Structure 1
Amino acid sequence: MSDAGADREPGANAEVCADGDAGGSADDPPADPEIEDLLDELETLEETVDDPDEREQVRETMRMARRVSTPGAFGRVIRGFDRHDAAEALVGSVVVGVPMLVEGGTLEVGEFIAANPWAFGVTLVGTVGLVIGVLYVAEIQQVEIHRPLFGVVPRRLAGVLTISFATAFVMMTAWGRVSWTDPWLALCQIVVAFAPMALGGALGDILPGS
């Protein structure tokens, strides 16, 4: 399947990384193999259509096909990473991040990491591993991987991590929780906030009803 139809579908066990041009990951995709074949053909057609109106008609047909069968809340296959998914990840990051921003312990842990560079690497690696576990290992939902960035990095993983880190960076700076007179300390404190915010972003992206 191409990444044109960025939606959640029952069926496979990996993540399609889409640019979000078609669909919306909130739609419920079909379980019927025949409908999946139809979607394959529609996605291929969408890539060859130049006229915006015709392309929108193809996308609407795809959305309607995905609603033919409604899966349960859990166990859906999540496809694509579009603006809707990015917004979900942002909301999840903020919900988890606000308590971290007002908690003094975040700054204290950041000071410890700044004094122990090995802890910086451990925190980053642990955060990435945690997000990978939520998205691809825990099977809260089934997430498809297709056309990863540079042939290696899943777009959903990159999107969640980037949005979560950017949210931590902006909020910690805007709320005066870090001082950039010491960039290393500020970065370490932001990474401490980033860790739980990345978890919140991953859960916000894939949980049912989000």
Structure 2
Amino acid sequence: MSLDDEEVDLSSLVDEFERLEESVESKKHRNHIQKLKEKTIKLSNPRMFGVVVEGFGKRDMIEAFLGSILIGIPVIIEEGTLEIGEFIAQHPLFLLGTLVFGVLLVIGILYYTDIQDVRITNPIFGLIPRRLLGILSIAFISSIVLMTVWGRVDWSEPMIAFSQCAFTFVAMSIGAALADILPGT
């Protein structure tokens, strides 16, 4: 096979790397060829959008906010949101489960799906990913502010109001996570 050919498919390129790897006696050079082969395979199979997502800046915050609003508005105006909030307010384990479910959904969207290659860089206290904390904070604050400003919660009963905001937060956090990573920033 000639590497000068315009149409070189992946399998023939990998075969060429393997032949080259077998012909080299130096372990250092064999390792280098192996790494080149792995990079070639990785580059030929890009993710859905093929972007590595790192850091969490102003643009990411705006995308997360817009995504939380996009998904959150229909949830906020839906009467069922208030009923669900009242129900989970009476069952503290369900409220806790709702919050944990929201956090786990965001973790799954960001770090365990193949939508984008989201990398954790410079975590807070070496443990908490900035993107995760940012998205959750934006969705949570947005749910409380909008539910309050639009008169959807009555803070004279704080447990019920918090539970209604918590349910809204779950939907808004999904929208925030997707909006942040889908554009490929």
Structure 2 unaligned spans of 5+: 1-45
Residue 167 of structure 1 is matched in structure 2 by: 142
TM-score (norm 1): 0.64
Q: 2: CA distance between counterparts of 1:145 and 1:209?
A: 15
Residue 188 of structure 1 is matched in structure 2 by: 163
Structure 1 unaligned spans of 5+: 1-70
Considering only aligned residues, what root-mean-square deviation do their CA atoms show, in Å? Answer: 1.5
Q: What is the CA-CA distance between 1:150 and the residue it aligns to?
A: 1.3
Q: 2: CA distance between counterparts of 1:119 and 1:148?
A: 29
Q: 2: CA distance between counterparts of 1:142 and 1:119?
A: 32
Cα offsets for 1:100-140 (capped at 9, x unmatched): 11100000000110010000110011110000000000121
Q: Identity of aligned pairs, percent?
A: 50
TM-score (norm 2): 0.73
Cα offsets for 1:6-45 (capped at 9, x unmatched): xxxxxxxxxxxxxxxxxxxxxxxxxxxxxxxxxxxxxxxx
Q: Helix, strand or coil: the match of 1:178?
A: coil
> Is 2:130 the partner of 1:155?
yes
> Is 2:117 the partner of 1:104?
no
Higher relative contact order (CA 8 A, sep 6+): 2
Q: 1: CA distance between counterparts of 2:129 and 2:184?
A: 23
> Is 2:49 the partner of 1:74?
yes
Q: 2: CA distance between counterparts of 1:85 and 1:164?
A: 13
Number of aligned residues: 140
As a proportion of its length, which structure holds more helix?
2
